[in-house]
């Protein structure tokens, strides 16, 4: 076998896995059908991601600390409210710092996806244990008792005991393996853009709930000229999406202003809006013969709590630990016992996060005064019960469940 693992898909999750494996001495071939240099522009992906503090601890452990320090804006506070009315529920990082917390004063970091991609790609290209094939596509993949063979369209043949599907929500590998998927679409579209604003955000992420869907304002590092800057993820009903996308910068700023009230003062839109259809999907298993699924190939959720990528990064940390441990014991990395250990470790946790985000979206989508009153009582209750509040904050930081070493900031 010429590699320990073949990873199909070198996106945010696949490339992080290659680096995590390399940190534990496991080699990989990464195959991506895209020209990865072309994925580094805001035109390709203008989104920013909330990287939970546990995911950030893994990035630092595998050598991406400089990228986070240069481009990450710490989130010190999350303020949740039913629209702009009522008493908000405030999660403050300083309230939850304590032994075992990887926060260092932050619940997480906001990073533009183009910076995440650039940091990962540079590290992937300069790591000896990683062979990168991109743009390249797999013409044939054979998985059997003897091992896995991937033949690329140019005739290159790659062999390994295990193939990892990191090829996103429409995963061809998942489909070819016949793995069933539970899925549904939300009648909602996410509109993503970037704003500059008069008042400082104070490292606060705002999550405002409206019956049409949640509206998130996420703190970013200041613009080059020093202006205050935040990312917007605005969930609208599908019918409203085309009209919203057609709005010019001034009209869009006025609509955003209506929803966020005077929270940040005058607002200017600085990036053309992009839209994402929202859906939920979850694979029935993450393991098949000499194959495992990670990231969006395994699951996709509503972006209401900014957890989708973090779930994929938790898959990475668990899979890397299982494979590095197994390699040290001289085990076959594609053996059913190895792949089943990973699937069992991650599937339940991801099911729970998926169910909670789905439930939250539905709860806040119920229109009318009575449900709004119930929500306000609920928010106030969480605010008053320290144990419950700490639990939600640990969830936001990614510090719950049976955590793999990398998420604790420990090397493999
Ligand atoms: C509006 C919005 C906001 C979000 N905000 C957040 C957030 O704040 N925090 C968060 O944690 N998550 C967030 N998410 C979720 C997050 O963006 C995704 O979960 C994450 O990008 C998934 O990464 P991935 O690497 O698994 O998949 P992808 O990013 O889809 O990457 C798949 C890769 O595989 C390659 N590929 C595909 N098919 C093949 C093939 N056949 N052969 C070879 N290569 C192939 C592609 O070129 C690509 O590089 C958000 C999502 C949306 C829609």
CATH code at position 287:
3.50.50.60
Instruction: For residue 58, give the nearest of 295, 308, 409, 324 by alpha carbon.
Output: 409
What residue owns the CA closest to ligand 1's atom 18? 309
Does some domain include residue 269? no
Q: Ligand 1 pocket: which of 7, 8, 9 to mutate (most atoms <8 Å of CB)?
A: 9
- Cα(312) to ligand 1 centroid in Å equals 9
Does some domain include residue 235? no
The CA angle 89-313-28, to the nearest 5 degrees, is 170
The total of structural domains in the chain comes to 1
Sign of CA dihedral 225, 43, 136, 179: positive
What six digits make up the tokens of 225? 């000229």
User: Which residue has tokens 């955590």?
Assistant: 403
- Cα(249) to ligand 1 centroid in Å equals 27
Q: Ligand 1 pocket: which of 33, 276, 314 to mutate (most atoms <8 Å of CB)?
A: 33
Strand partners, 118: none
Residue 185 has a CB neighbour count (10 Å cut-off) of: 11
Does some domain include residue 202? no
The CA angle 301-271-276, to the nearest 5 degrees, is 25
Residue 42 has a CB neighbour count (10 Å cut-off) of: 14
Predicted confidence (pLDDT) per residue in 221-253, tens digit: 999 999 999 999 999 999 999 999 999 999 999
Q: How far apart are CA 172 and CA 179, in angstroms?
A: 11
Report the mean per-residue pLDDT for the chain: 91
Q: How far apart are CA 58 and CA 68, in angstroms?
A: 11
* Closest atom, ligand 1, to C-alpha of 276: 53
335, with CB counted inside 10 A (0-12, 13-18, 19+), is middle
Q: What are phi and psi of 211, to 5 degrees?
A: -55, -30
48-57, 160-169, 354-363 — which is least confidently predicted?
Answer: 354-363
Ligand 1, residues at Cβ distance < 6 Å: 8-14, 31-34, 47, 49-50, 137-138, 166-168, 172, 190, 192, 233, 276, 295-296, 303, 306-310, 312
What residue owns the CA closest to ligand 1's atom 53? 276
Does some domain include residue 60? yes
* Closest atom, ligand 1, to C-alpha of 169: 30
Hey, is 196 helix, strand or coil? strand
Does some domain include residue 331? yes
Q: Does a cis peptide bond (omega within 30 degrees of 0) precede residue 135? A: yes
DSSP string, 374-388: HHHHHHHHHHH-HHH
Q: What are phi and psi of 404, to 5 degrees?
A: -65, 160
Q: What does the pLDDT read at residue 104? A: 52
pTM: 0.94
In the predicted structure, residue 396 carries a pLDDT above the cut 80: no
Does some domain include residue 350? yes
- Cα(395) to ligand 1 centroid in Å equals 21
Q: Ligand 1 pocket: which of 36, 49, 140 to mutate (most atoms <8 Å of CB)?
A: 49
45-59, 74-88, 111-125, 326-340 — which is least confidently predicted?
Answer: 74-88
165-169, 243-247, 302-306, 328-332 — which is least confidently predicted?
Answer: 302-306
What six digits make up the tokens of 96? 């939850």
Does some domain include residue 195? no
What residue owns the CA closest to ligand 1's atom 47? 34
Instruction: For residue 79, give the nearest of 70, 71, 89 by alpha carbon.
Output: 89
Predicted confidence (pLDDT) per residue in 36-55, tens digit: 999 998 888 999 999 999 99
Q: Which structural domain, as residue segments, surrounds residue 337?
A: 5-73+110-182+279-364+401-408
What six digits make up the tokens of 388? 């419950």
Instruction: For residue 28, give the nearest of 36, 37, 19 by alpha carbon.
Output: 19
- Cα(167) to ligand 1 centroid in Å equals 8
Does some domain include residue 272? no
In the predicted structure, residue 13 carries a pLDDT above the cut 70: yes
């Amino acid at each position: 076998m010429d590699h320990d693992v073949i990873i199909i898909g070198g996106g945010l999750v696949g490339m992080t896995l290659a680096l995590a494996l390399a940190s534990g001495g496991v080699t990989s071939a990464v195959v991506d059908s895209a020209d990865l240099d072309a994925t580094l522009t805001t035109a390709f992906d203008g989104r920013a991601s909330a990287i939970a503090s546990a995911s950030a601890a893994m990035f630092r452990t595998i050598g991406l600390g400089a990228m986070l320090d240069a481009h990450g804006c710490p989130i010190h506070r999350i303020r949740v409210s039913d629209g702009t009315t009522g008493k908000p529920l405030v999660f403050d990082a300083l309230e939850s710092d304590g032994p075992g917390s990887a926060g260092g004063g932050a619940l997480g970091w906001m990073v533009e996806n183009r910076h995440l991609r650039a940091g990962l790609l540079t590290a992937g290209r300069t790591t000896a244990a990683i062979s990168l094939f991109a743009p390249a596509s797999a013409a044939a993949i054979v998985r059997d008792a003897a091992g896995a063979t991937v033949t690329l369209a140019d005739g290159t043949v790659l062999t390994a005991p295990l193939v990892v599907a990191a090829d996103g929500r429409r995963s061809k590998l998942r489909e070819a393996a016949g793995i069933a998927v539970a899925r549904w679409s939300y009648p909602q579209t996410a509109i993503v853009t970037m704003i500059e604003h008069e008042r400082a955000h104070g490292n606060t992420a705002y999550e405002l709930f409206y019956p049409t869907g949640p509206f998130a304002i996420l703190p970013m590092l200041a613009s080059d000229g020093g202006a205050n800057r935040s990312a917007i993820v605005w969930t609208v009903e599908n019918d409203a999406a085309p009209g919203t996308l057609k709005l010019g910068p001034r009209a869009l700023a006025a609509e955003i202003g209506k929803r966020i009230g005077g929270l940040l003062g005058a607002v200017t839109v600085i990036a053309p809006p992009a839209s994402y259809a929202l859906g939920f999907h979850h694979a029935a298993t993450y393991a098949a013969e000499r194959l495992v699924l990670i990231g969006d190939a395994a699951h996709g959720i509503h972006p209401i709590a900014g957890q989708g990528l973090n779930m994929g990064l938790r898959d990475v940390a668990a899979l890397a630990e299982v494979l590095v441990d197994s390699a040290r014991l001289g085990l076959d990395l594609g053996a059913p016992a190895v792949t089943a250990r990973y699937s069992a470790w991650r599937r339940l946790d991801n099911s729970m996060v998926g169910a909670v985000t789905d439930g939250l979206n539905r709860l806040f989508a119920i229109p009318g005064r009575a449900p709004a009153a119930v929500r306000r009582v609920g928010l106030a209750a969480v605010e008053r019960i320290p144990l419950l509040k700490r639990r939600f904050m640990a969830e936001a930081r990614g510090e719950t469940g049976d955590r793999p070493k990398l998420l604790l900031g420990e090397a493999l």
